[in-house]
């Protein structure tokens, strides 16, 4: 019995340490009004298209989107570019294909069926170009990071000078929202860095929101369809519950209760 209590005490002690460590590391992320949140959430088309522009002009030189095809840009529930626009976007990239009849690889303009062109040929090339760090693929980045959209949104705005007493190695930057506060990626955003096609002012906050919205879509492209299905399921269950209630009430009304 004494051994049992000792084991229980040790378990509670270690759980307590784990909880305290997590509480100490908990960071309050920046928050904004995400249109895609909630049961009726939908993506802001303008924000998705601006987010794609930020990805193309700022992020795509280092980060890939290997699970996204150019045709997805024109599909319902996404940025919803026209098919002609999506074809033009795809054709603006050179894709390696082959082998041809001579057994050689060749390049051609991209097509809607092609995946987004990778910025580097392989992992080693990416690491060599980034001081040994590997820029992660951004396709499902929002889902892969704790804090989700709020974390990405905060990280992009979290760059600042390190506090007194903290020394950073060469090529390392301080970010108050990064795990450990140290990040090798330099601050990618600055006010007016891109010129939005729709005339929206490209502040750091606006670009952070737009690229995060775009990355939320790449991570969950069927979010709107899922929300619609969930809503229909709830309505169906409500109607079914009402019908069952009145059916049972009618059945039991035929049974006389004993006095």
Which residue range forms the structural domain that includes residue 241?
Answer: 222-251
Tell me the mean pLDDT in the region 238-251. Answer: 81
Residue 177 belongs to a domain: yes
Smallest Cα–Cα separation from 179: which of 137, 131, 146?
146
- Number of domains into which the chain is organized: 2
In a domain, 84, yes or no: no
The pairing of strands 173-174 and 182-183 is antiparallel
Contact status, residue 79 vs residue 49, Cβ threshold 8 Å: yes
At residue 244, does pLDDT exceed 90?
no
| Cβ atoms of 137 and 65 closer than 8 Å | yes
What is the H or E stretch that residue 152 is in?
Answer: helix 148-155
Q: What is the pLDDT of residues 94-127, one digit of tens each?
A: 998 888 888 888 999 999 999 999 999 899 999 9
How far is Cα 64 from Cα 135, in angstroms, rounded to an integer? 8
For range 238-256, the mean pLDDT: 78
214 with 241, same domain: the answer is no
* Confidence band, pLDDT 50/70/90 cuts, at residue 257: low
194 and 142 share one domain: yes
Task: Give the up-direction half-sphere exposure of residue 12: CA atoms within 13 A in the CB hemisphere.
Answer: 6
252, β-bridge pairs:
none
**What is the pairing mode between strands 182-183 and 94-97?**
unpaired
Domain check: are 211 and 165 in the same one?
yes
Residue 258: the pLDDT is 57
3-state DSSP helix/strand/coil % of the chain, to nearest 5: 45, 5, 45
Burial of 149 (0-12, 13-18, 19+ CB in 10 A): buried
The CATH number of residue 150's host domain is 1.10.760.10
Rounded to two decimals, the pTM is 0.81
CA–CA dist 202, 195 (Å, integer) = 7
Question: Is the same domain home to 54 and 138?
Answer: yes
* Same domain, residue pair 144 and 232: no
Per-residue pLDDT of 150-166, as tens digits, reads 999 999 999 999 999 88
- Among all chains, which residue has been given the structure tokens 């804090």? 147
Collect all residues with Cβ–Cβ distance below 8 Å to 88 and sequence separation of at least 6.
none
The answer to whether position 245 is within a domain reads yes
What does the alpha-carbon distance between residue 52 and residue 221 come to, in Å, rounded to a whole number? 14
Specify which of 15-24, 212-221, 247-256 reaches the highest per-range mean pLDDT.
Answer: 212-221
Same domain, 178 and 126: yes
Residue 3 pLDDT > 70, yes or no?
no
Q: Are residues 130 and 230 in the same domain?
A: no
């Amino acid at each position: 019995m004494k051994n049992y209590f000792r084991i229980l005490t040790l378990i509670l002690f270690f759980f307590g340490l784990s909880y305290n460590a997590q509480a100490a590391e908990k960071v309050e992320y920046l928050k904004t009004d995400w249109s895609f949140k909630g049961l009726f959430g939908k993506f802001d088309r303008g924000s998705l298209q601006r987010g794609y522009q930020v990805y193309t002009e700022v992020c795509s030189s280092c980060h890939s989107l290997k699970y996204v095809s150019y045709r997805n840009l024109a599909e319902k529930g996404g940025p919803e570019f026209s098919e002609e626009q999506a074809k033009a976007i795809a054709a603006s990239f050179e894709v390696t294909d082959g082998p041809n009849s001579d057994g050689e690889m060749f390049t051609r303009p991209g097509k809607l069926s092609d995946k987004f062109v990778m910025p580097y040929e392989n992992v080693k090339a990416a690491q060599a170009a980034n001081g040994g760090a590997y820029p992660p693929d951004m396709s499902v980045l929002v889902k892969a990071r704790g804090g989700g959209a709020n974390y990405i949104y905060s990280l992009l705005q979290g760059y600042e000078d390190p506090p007194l007493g903290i020394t950073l190695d060469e090529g390392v930057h301080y970010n108050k929202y990064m795990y450990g506060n140290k990040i090798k990626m330099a601050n990618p955003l600055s006010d007016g860095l891109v010129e939005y096609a729709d005339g929206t002012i490209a502040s750091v906050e606006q670009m952070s929101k737009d690229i995060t919205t775009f990355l939320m879509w790449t991570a969950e492209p069927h979010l709107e369809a899922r929300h619609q299905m969930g809503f229909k399921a709830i309505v169906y269950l409500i109607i079914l519950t009402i019908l069952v209630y009145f059916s049972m009430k009618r059945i039991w009304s035929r049974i006389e209760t004993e006095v």
